[in-house]
Amino acid sequence: MFSYCTEPSQLESLRWFSCFLTNGVHLKFYTSFGTVLLLLAITAPVALSFGFIGAVASRSHFPPLSFLGKLYTAMVRGIPDIAFFLFFVIALDQGLEWLRHQALCPDWTDPIRQGANFLVCPEAKLPQSSSPQIWHEIYNSAIAIFTFSIVFGAFASNVLFGAMKAVPYAQIETAHAYGMSNRQTFWRILVPQMWVYALPGLSNLWMILIKATPLLFLLGVEDIVYWAREIGGSKTSAYTYPHPDWRIYYFLGLLVFYLVFTRVSEIALSRLTRKLSHGQATLAGEQQRREA
């Protein structure tokens, strides 16, 4: 990074640190913060839409659909989310490869599961072993995001289902009295009004989602936890920057990052809640009206 960094063993401590903290792996470490934020930015809306679909399905009048929706909503209640993460990462991978196998190699006769092996034809492998490294990383991240979205979608489905039930029934009845169809009532009356009821739950969900991002490490994404462990571990003099085990300091850094992140989110969400409660027929909205 700096011109004096060519011979780090000769430097005094301040310059040594300025070189150490800007070397190649550290830059990767810093960009991994961006990766985490990016994954979070993709996961949140996807999970929310999964949750919406789940909530709508549970409200359906068609019994099998509502059963599926309720099953999806209930699945996170009894089972640890980490079990889902570990399961889906392998299951999705195998499922995709199996589908491609069925489509691409119809005359393959060997069984796919042979003892402890999962064998599909070479064309069905995902990603292809010849494809560049970046595709492997993107594939891993995509699987991780999808897994996260399924699990947090189930939480969001819980929240949204509750919020849809919380909208006063008189509103729905009035809409019907005006001659609106079920579909119109849903999109024009129910959905716009449910957000204020859903917001406390969704804010909590956002906090949970932030605090779940270190688990991306378990799903094989090279995130901040991965790099903190990599860089922090003790390095012998064979490395350019030898140092003892500094992982504790890296994890302290991560702790501070998460504390700041959750605190900032908390403040932002409480502002948003105030804004959305404005003019609503809820306790908070009523209080704002009296104060004004």
Partner 1 sequence: MTCWETIQAYGLRSFGIGERLLPKSDITLCEQTTLIGSGMIWNIYFGVLSLAAGFFFATALAMAKNARNPWLRKPAEWFIFLFRGSPLFIQFFLAYETFVLLPKFGIEFSVLGIDFTATTRWLTRAWLGALIVLFLNTSAYSAEIFHGALRSVPRGDLEAADAYGLSGWHKFRRVTWPTMMRLAWPAYTNEAIFLFHATTLVYFSGFPAWKQMGDALYYASYFADKTFNPFVPYPIVAGYFIVLTLIVITVFGMINRRLNRHLPQQRRQRFRFRPQWIR
What span, in angstroms and rounded, lies between the C-alpha atoms of 179 and 77? 39
Q: How far is the CB of 155 from partner 1 (least distance, A)?
A: 5
Nearer to partner 1, 76 or 172 (CB): 76
What span, in angstroms and rounded, lies between the C-alpha atoms of 12 and 55? 61
What span, in angstroms and rounded, lies between the C-alpha atoms of 34 and 39? 9
Binding of partner 1 by 264 (CB under 8 A): no
| Strand partners of residue 235 | 243
Contact pattern for partner 1 over residues 62 through 81, marking x by CB under 8 A: --------------xxxxxx
Q: How far is CA 6 from CA 9, 23, 25, 27, in A?
A: 9, 11, 16, 17
What span, in angstroms and rounded, lies between the C-alpha atoms of 68 and 73? 9
Binding of partner 1 by 255 (CB under 8 A): yes
Q: How far is the CB of 245 from partner 1 (least distance, A)?
A: 8
Contact region with partner 1 (CB under 8 A), list: 42-50, 56-64, 120-128, 152-160? 152-160
In the list 60, 126, 247, 269, the residue contacting partner 1 (rule: CB under 8 A) is: 247
Binding of partner 1 by 116 (CB under 8 A): yes
Q: How far is the CB of 16 from partner 1 (least distance, A)?
A: 22
Binding of partner 1 by 87 (CB under 8 A): yes
Q: How many residues bind partner 1 (CB under 8 A)?
A: 47
Contact region with partner 1 (CB under 8 A), list: 55-63, 113-121, 174-182, 185-193? 113-121
Nearer to partner 1, 8 or 253 (CB): 253
- Tell me the DSSP string of 249-289: HHHHHHHHHHHHHHHHHHHHHHHHHHHHHTT-SSHHHHHHH
- Tell me the DSSP string of 153-218: HHHHHHHHHHHHHHS-HHHHHHHHHTT--HHHIIIIIIHHHHHHHHHHHHHHHHHHHHHHGGGGGT
What span, in angstroms and rounded, lies between the C-alpha atoms of 193 and 277? 11
Binding of partner 1 by 230 (CB under 8 A): no
Nearer to partner 1, 143 or 175 (CB): 143
Binding of partner 1 by 111 (CB under 8 A): no
Binding of partner 1 by 213 (CB under 8 A): yes
Q: How far is the CB of 103 from partner 1 (least distance, A)?
A: 21
Do residues 105 and 122 make contact, with C-beta atoms less than 8 angstroms apart?
no
Do residues 274 and 215 make contact, with C-beta atoms less than 8 angstroms apart?
no
Residue reference for tokens 């991994």: 32
Nearer to partner 1, 176 or 247 (CB): 247
In the list 108, 251, 282, 288, the residue contacting partner 1 (rule: CB under 8 A) is: 251
List contacts with partner 1 (CB under 8 A). 76-83, 86-87, 90-91, 94, 113, 115-118, 155, 158-159, 201, 204-205, 207-208, 210-215, 217-218, 225, 229, 245, 247-248, 251-252, 254-255, 258-259, 262-263
